[in-house]
Structure 1
Amino acid sequence: MATDPNRLFLRKSLDSVRRDSSETGLRRHLGPIQLVLLGIGCIIGAGVYVMTGTAAANYAGPAVVLSFGIAGLACAFTGLCYAELSSVLPVSGASYTYAYAALGEVFAWALGWMLMLEFGLAGAALAVGFSGYLQSLLADFGITIPAMLAAPTLQSEMGPDGLMFEAGASINLLALISLGVASLILVRGIAHSAAVNTLLVVIKLGVLLGFVAVGSRHIDTANLTPFIPANEGGFRYGVPGIFRAASVLFFAYLGFEAVATAASEARKPQRDVPIGILGALFVSTLVYAAVAFVMTGLVSYRTLNVADPIAIAVEAIGMPVFAMAIKIGALTGLGSVLLVNTYGQSRICLAMASDRLIPGRFAALHARFATPAFGTFVLAGISGLAAALLPITLLADLVSIGTAFVFVVVAISVMWLRTRHPDLPRPFRVPLGGIWVRGIWIGTVPVLAILLCLTMMGPVLADIFSKAIHGEWIPMAILLIYIVIGILIYALYGSRHSRARAEAL
């Protein structure tokens, strides 16, 4: 059956979007504090516990603090866009649904598919980090996990042309298991998960603040000099390295997006979701910057290219018991963000299945717990395989690409909805205003969000292309294969079963 090009851009009506929100069967019981904690639970994870060390060692040195600031600024502008959209359309599916209403089906599909990449591989990266800290903690008790069960099949090493990859005879079994446990918890329902997440957030924030308080008294200023190491070519240190590190750390801020996906379960979504998004971003950025500064002040940044950089830093203090407490806190933090990330991914899948762009089985709710159990288990299984096979450096780069793409589309959606529906009630509006150009509203905040997100995506894509030119084709191949699979699924299934198209006939 041929596809009508005009229907590729078929939009969902705003009334339809709101009706879908009321028909999901999900209960509205999340308040603003729970949403802030939900966001913090997802934001503060691999970025601070794992990727800070990699970003500092390979790209930015002590200036990784600036990298967090750059990435956080980009997410702040994007967060404001999310806040406006969620106040207008408080629905499950968040940015996917926003794009469907503003830009049309083909953009919604592309964004939804990239969201699956973003959440799926972020979950894998978090699971890899969880595995690393668990191995370190077990080693403190004299328990060693066999190497063939403790590392991904594909491993990375820094070479003359940047990070290179080599396959080995190993699999990260602990990472795979951790994703399985997260999916089991979530299938029991968000009410149970929100309670668990609240406890985990309180614990991990306390541990991180303890690390900052104790570690700040043992900082060696020599480790912070030079603050911006001289560039050694490409994206290794210097100003290019700061932006490359920011692109690595970018994905750790996707937690506020999980808050938007929970809009259909918020008691007062127009008020509570913006509070949840901006509150979570503010708190998390402060924590990130403080931890990164103390970490690079305790030890040389060149020693931090490990799976457990905070553990390496705290051991330099000479307090073994405190070091063990930090590792436990890291496991708690990674566990909480893994829980929230898996939740967000399942809700995106639920929204796409409800629109019949993917099989309806993914929208089926569990008879007892009223949660999308099938989709949760399938997605967790795929993420688990990625965690078992791929190194965290590669996972982080791919997630950053997906995240930046999604954020750009969200910012465009804000401007397009303002253009098409300028009188629509908006309990929250992005600040700083905008201008009208030939009937199109161009907002200051959305434009800044787009520019900063492209700045995040650029270094990653440049690095991937550079690797391909020098014979390291794996990152490029994974990205292209994923895009092709998405195109085929939409062409062969989504475009033929779309609910919006059926209703338009």
Structure 2
Amino acid sequence: MTWDMRMRNNMFRRLPVEQATGRLYGGRHRLRVVYRTRDLVVLGLGVMIGSGIFKIAGEQASSTAGPGVLISFLIAGGVCVLAALAFAELSSIIPVAGSAYSFAYVAFGEVWAWVVGWALIMELLLAASVLARVWSLYATQALHDFGVPVPGGLGDVIGQVKGPDVLALGILLLVVLMLATGSRLSLKSLWYMVMAKVIVIGLVIATGLKFFDAGNLTPFVPPARPAPEGDQTVLDAVLGAFGGGTPHVFGVWGLFAAAPTIAFAYIGFDLIATASEETDDAPRKVPRGILTALLTAIVLYAAVAIALVGMVGMDGFAKLNPDKLLLAAAFDEVGAGAMGKIVDVGAVLALTTVILVVVISLTRVVFSMARDGLLPRPLAAMSRYKVPSRATLLAGGAALVMSQTIDVLTLEQLVVIGTLFAFLFVAAAVLALRHAQPDLHRPFRMPAAPLVVLATILAVGWLMLNLKVQTWAYFAVWMAVGIVLYLVYGRRKSQMKLLLDAPPDRPVAAPLAAAPPPGALPPGVVPAGGPGLGEPVPYASGGWDAPRAPEPGGRPGMPESPYPTGRYSTGRQAGGQFARDPYRAPPEDAEGYERDVRRRPSGPYSPGPTGRPADPYALDPEVPDPYAPGPHRYDRYGSGERPYGEQAYPGQGYGDEHEEPPDGGRHRH
């Protein structure tokens, strides 16, 4: 078996960078360019600043880390910064919609790309469903806090943890329809909502610091204590099996144990890479947008954590109203109840932007995988709105059904494991491409790449080990289903396989015809004084347009033409000939036609008086000058007068001393 045959059947065939970016095969960048650097930052903040900023600090402070939760935020943020550096470098090399999926395709091969893409689909599909449910819970709470009455018939179908929910259905349906129709409102709406929630966060921080008490931060690292049963992680299971220890919370270990859950809040900077094809100058702007958005989110989360913990303290969280959003309940506890309503509005806006960005990213991943043939190719079709509407409707519809039929809130950690799994491949892809293709242009380079990549892999792996054993089991089942789908469909329909299966001797372009001999006209050119209207056009012998015998049934044969049909096709004549060009000049004796007798076939093969090629721009001395004074077609007055003075005709122009045309003239020197 030859190397080519092995590559065609090899699941590890790699996508060339030139094909991934469209520089070789073209046509891959079909999405509209709509994003600038500041739009990418807003996109990142739109997905990273969600409901977590209003509750996650309090939850982890009270259950796992204590007031030292600020350190946990910085640990999780540091791990995400390491991963963001890898995303930034690869986005500068491969600025395409697939993000981690496309990076893995180029660096490791097709089967690994499918695995990463399948994990991304699980992550984003579940995230959209979970967020729609949480949005419904917060919207219902906001209605209650503002005293808006809810009709009795809707009480059982809004704000539900599982089962049918009208609000969750409505928000997903609205976002999907907005994106499927290419609405420009999506980006504008994202800007307004992100700015509104940043203002709300600023008010939360400022108000919280007014009630700040340094005593609430002590002890900063509470003594360790055994963890509650039922939340065993993989790391706990491993340590218990080999060391006989039990998992703990608080203490130094609690600071690290809270980091994986906090990392869920930062997830979303990687989604900026899915907008690469829609960004102007993506190799430079996408890395800048990723890092700016992530660092901004880390600062905002840390500030909210300081304000919240300093306002309530670790022991104060147990006294808060469990029926309200944790941050809103904290403001009620200190006597700032009005801020609770503002927090409700901020939480609803925050979740709306997260849902919008997640659905955008989900459709771009599906679009990219379908474009490569690993998913059905029709999903990569662009609608008349210049967006992948089919991918949007399918992905959004799947999220909508999942949100209404599955208890998705119990599967929240699957979103985290899918993201961290992609982070591992992206970090490793940096080293793989530096080794395999060191000469690639990298507008952004990860500093100290070998050491930073190794640190990223270890840190991300450690976060994954801190996820529940049940989460790993569900993830294994999802990936097994994905491998089966790839073997059944994706491997056979892959565009890379079809490209490699193409015959190697297939011509990429038609061969050029030999030049005609001197003195002869090119095929299909009618000489001056040649056939008139209604006469057959002569054909060059042996060409594609040579006449054929009539087909059976009396219909004349038709030559194979590169332009046989179309809006301006002129039909065919008997004997297999095409009809005359309707725009060719008629003969001199045609009624009502004034022929410009100076026109001759021009070009290097124009016949001259001696049969040799003549100067294509030379004037025929036997033909009278049509610009000379006297009655001719250019003389309006029939008396030899030039209408606008002696300089009125081509080649002479209007000088300063000459009169302008009455209408000013359109084409003036």
TM-score, normalised with respect to structure 1: 0.86
- Between the aligned partners of 2:421 and 2:26, the Cα distance in structure 1 is 25
2:159 — aligned with what?
150
Show CA shifts across 1:35-87 (max 9, x none): 11111111111331344444344433333322221111111011111111111
How far, CA to CA, are the matches of 1:181 and 1:53 in structure 2?
32
Equivalent AA in structure 2 for residue 104 of structure 1: G
> Displacement, 1:245?
2.3
Q: State the shift of 1:301 in Å.
A: 3.5
Alpha carbons of 1:285 and 1:372: their partners in 2 closer, same or farther (altered >3 Å)? same
Q: Secondary structure at the match of 1:9?
A: coil
Query: Are 1:219 and 2:236 an aligned pair?
Result: no
1:482 aligns with 2:478: yes
Contact 1:36 1:277 in 2 (8 A): yes
CA distance in 1, matches of 2:212, 2:323: 20
Local SS of the residue matching 2:226: coil
Does the Cα contact within 8 Å between 1:172 and 1:389 map onto a contact in 2? no
Q: Which has the higher helix share?
A: 1
Equivalent in 394, 397, 404 of residue 381 of structure 1: 397
Compared CA separation, residues 128 and 55, structure 1 to 2 (3 A): farther
Q: CA deviation at 1:311?
A: 1.8
Deviation at 1:149, TM superposition (A): 4.0
Map of 2:642 onto structure 1: none
Q: Check the 8 A contact 2:36/2:279 in 1, yes or no.
A: yes
Counterpart of 2:289, as a letter, is G
Q: In the alignment, is the contact (CA less than 8 A) between 1:152 and 1:390 conserved in 2?
A: no
Q: 1:132 aligns with which of 111, 134, 137?
A: 137
How far off its partner does 1:476 sit? Answer: 5.5
Distance of aligned partners of 1:309 and 1:243 in 2 relative to their CA distance in 1, 3 Å threshold: same
State how far apart, in whole Å, the 2-side matches of 1:295 and 1:5 are. Answer: 58
> Deviation at 1:172?
4.4
- CA deviations 1:472-494 (Å, max 9, x no partner) are xxx45533332222122111111
- Report the Cα distance in structure 2 between the residues aligned to 1:227 and 1:171, rounded to whole angstroms: 43
- In the aligned structure 1, how far is the partner of 2:253 from the partner of 2:402? 29
Deviation at 1:269, TM superposition (A): 0.7
In the alignment, is the contact (CA less than 8 A) between 2:7 and 2:13 conserved in 1?
Answer: no
Structure 1 match to 2:19: 16
Question: What does residue 593 of structure 2 align with?
Answer: none
Establish whether residue 454 from structure 1 lines up as the match of residue 457 from structure 2. no
Is the Cα–Cα contact under 8 Å of residues 41 and 340 in structure 1 kept in the other structure?
Answer: yes
Shift of 1:14: 1.1
User: Matches of 1:138 and 1:81 in 2, distance apart?
Assistant: 43
Q: Could you tell me which of 181, 186, 191 is aligned with 2:174? A: 181
Name the counterpart of 1:78. 83
Any gaps of 5 or more consecutive residues in structure 2?
Answer: 1-5, 228-246, 502-669
Question: Aligned pair in 2 of structure 1 residues 359, 328: CA closer, same or farther (>3 Å)?
Answer: same
Q: 1:380 to 1:61 in 2, by over 3 A?
A: farther
Distance, in Å, in 2 between the alignment partners of 1:307 and 1:416 is 49
Change (3 A) 1:218 1:22: farther
Query: What secondary structure sits across from 1:7 in the alignment?
Result: coil
1:228-247 map, 5 Å: 228-229=221-222, 230-233=224-227, 234-247=247-260
SS state of the match for residue 11, structure 1?
coil
Deviates more, 1:125-134 or 1:329-338: 125-134
| Structure 1 residues 259 and 450, CA gap change in structure 2 (3 angstroms) | same
What is the rounded CA distance, in whole Å, between the counterparts of 1:419 and 1:123 in structure 2?
37
1:336 matches 2:353: yes
Name 1:199's counterpart in structure 2: 192
Q: In structure 2, what is the Cα distance between the partners aligned to 1:190 and 1:418?
A: 40
1:112 matched residue in structure 2: 117
* Residue of 258, 283, 292 corresponding to 2:296: 283
Q: Structure 1, residues 232-267: CA drift from partner, whole Å, max 9, x if none? A: 332543334333322122233222212111110111
Shift of 1:12: 0.5
| Mapped contact 2:139–2:159 kept (Cα < 8 A) | no
Could you tell me how far 1:333 is from its partner in structure 2?
Answer: 1.3
Offset of residue 205 of structure 1: 0.6
Residues 49 and 129 in structure 1, CA contact (< 8 A), matched pair in contact too: no
1:273 lines up with 2:286 in the alignment: yes
Q: Deviations over 1:437-489 (max 9, x none)?
A: xxxxxx122212111111111110xx325xxxxxxxxx455333322221221
Task: Report matched runs for 1:18-167 at 5 Å.
Answer: 18-19=21-22, 22-142=27-147, 143=149, 146=155, 149-153=158-162
1:492 equivalent among 477, 488, 491: 488
**Residue of structure 2 in register with 1:163 after alignment:** none
Instruction: Using the TM superposition, give the Cα deviation of residue 285 of structure 1 relative to its aligned residue in structure 2, in angstroms.
Output: 0.4
Q: Structure 2 CA distance, aligned partners of 1:423 and 1:349?
A: 30
Distance in 1, matches of 2:402 and 2:248, equals: 26
Using the TM superposition, name which of 343-352 and 125-134 deviates more: 125-134
Provide closer, same or farther for how the CA distance between residues 271 and 5 of structure 1 changes in structure 2, counting only shifts above 3 A: closer
Deviation at 1:331, TM superposition (A): 1.1
> How far does residue 425 in structure 1 lie from its aligned partner after superposition?
1.0
Offset of residue 375 of structure 1: 2.0
Structure 2 CA distance for aligned equivalents of residues 213 and 194 of structure 1? 29
Residues 65 and 121 of structure 1: is their aligned pair in 2 closer, same or farther, counting only changes over 3 Å?
farther
- The 2-side partners of 1:206 and 1:152 are apart by 29
Alpha-carbon distance between aligned partners in 2 of 1:302 and 1:354, rounded to the nearest angstrom: 52
Deviates more, 1:418-427 or 1:301-310: 301-310
Structure 1 window deviating more from structure 2 (303-312 vs 16-25): it is: 303-312
Q: Which has the higher contact order (CA 8 A, sep 6+)?
A: 1
In the aligned structure 2, how far is the partner of 1:50 from the partner of 1:353?
Answer: 38
Question: Could you tell me whether the CA contact under 8 Å between 1:124 and 1:395 is conserved in 2?
Answer: no
What secondary structure is seen at the aligned counterpart in 2 of 1:262?
Answer: helix
Distance 1:227 1:401, change over 3 A: same
Cα deviation, 1:88-138, whole Å, max 9, x if unaligned, reads 111111111111011000110000001112212222332233222212111
Figure out how many residues of one structure are paired with residues of the other and give that number. Answer: 467
Distance 1:265 1:227 in 2: 45
Query: Residue 394 of structure 1: SS of its match in structure 2?
Result: helix
Worse-matched range after superposition: 493-502 or 316-325: 316-325
Q: Give me the whole-angstrom Cα distance separating, in 2, the residues matched to 1:7 and 1:286.
A: 46
* Unmatched segments (≥5 aa) in structure 1: 154-169, 434-442, 466-474
Residues 1:207 and 1:488: Cα distance change in structure 2 (over 3 Å): same
% identity of equivalent residues: 35
Distance in 1, matches of 2:379 and 2:319, equals 44
Letter of the 1:215 partner, please give it.
G
Q: Distance in 2 between matches of 1:302 and 1:340?
A: 34
Which residue among 251, 256, 270 is the counterpart of 1:257?
270
Shift of 1:417: 0.5
**Which residue in the other structure is 2:373 paired with?**
356
What is the distance in 2 between the residues matched to 1:343 and 1:127? 14
Q: Write out per-residue CA displacement over residues 184-217 of structure 1, whole angstroms, 9 at most, x where no aligned residue.
A: 2222337432221111111111110110001111
**Do residues 345 (structure 1) and 362 (structure 2) align?**
yes
Q: CA deviation at 1:499?
A: 0.7
Tell me which residue corresponds to 1:296.
Answer: 309
Is 1:445 matched up with 2:452?
yes
- Alignment of 1:313 with 2:330, yes or no, is yes
Is the contact made by 2:328 and 2:339 (CA closer than 8 Å) also made in structure 1?
Answer: no
Equivalence for 1:157: none
The residue aligned with 2:382 is 365
In 1: Cα distance, 2:324 partner to 2:413 partner: 16
How far is 1:150 from its partner? 2.2
